[in-house]
Structure 1
């Protein structure tokens, strides 16, 4: 009975998807072509995963994009040709570093604007605080009156 249970368990482990996971193997004509392929798979974002490049993603779409990249490089296409194809198909979102255009300008400028506004607010508050402290300086007459009031409280 135990041997049967062990065999069933081993068969179940053997049939699990993780045990059957395949590793992509690509053969290149030259080391330069392989280098370009790896650069592209690091520079292109997986549209499904969004925070992973197509080289790191396990999504089926990322695998398809890796395969398409490989095929295009085997056809003699350049790195720019592959990027143009991917952008035409998936938009600038597929690029980790989108180009500076009117539509992406907010992505490039907004961090600077936020930092500048934050610094302006800090300086404005600091200036207001020093101005409030300067306004609270008492005249000689007011200081004398305050001293008299404080002395009066000490006597009682």
Structure 2
């Protein structure tokens, strides 16, 4: 929650919402690296720190709604932001399915998934995060009317 306030304010001050989204995406992507590189070596404190960083950097997401609002006429603001709002729900359903499939592809050992299964699903998330940064680079940004 604090990150959304901070990043929203920064995007208002510098008037470059796209840069804020890219910054958040890069921070979020970097947060995935320890989970991929040192999956089984992370302790509880490290996982808490990584979780905090992921939440902090992903809180740049609301800036995307401001970009969408600026791209469309005022009469279409509700519709355009509603369309964007669907994607996190769709993504959550899709990612859970894919990550479950990836973990099942590694298999369980004594009814428990090994670290390799988690690492594989984390690699998928890392890759998706990189793809999202590339997509944001191609987003057009208009100067909104305040």
TM-score, length basis structure 1 = 0.24
Whichever structure has more helix as a proportion of its residues is 2
Q: Which has the higher contact order (CA 8 A, sep 6+)?
A: 2
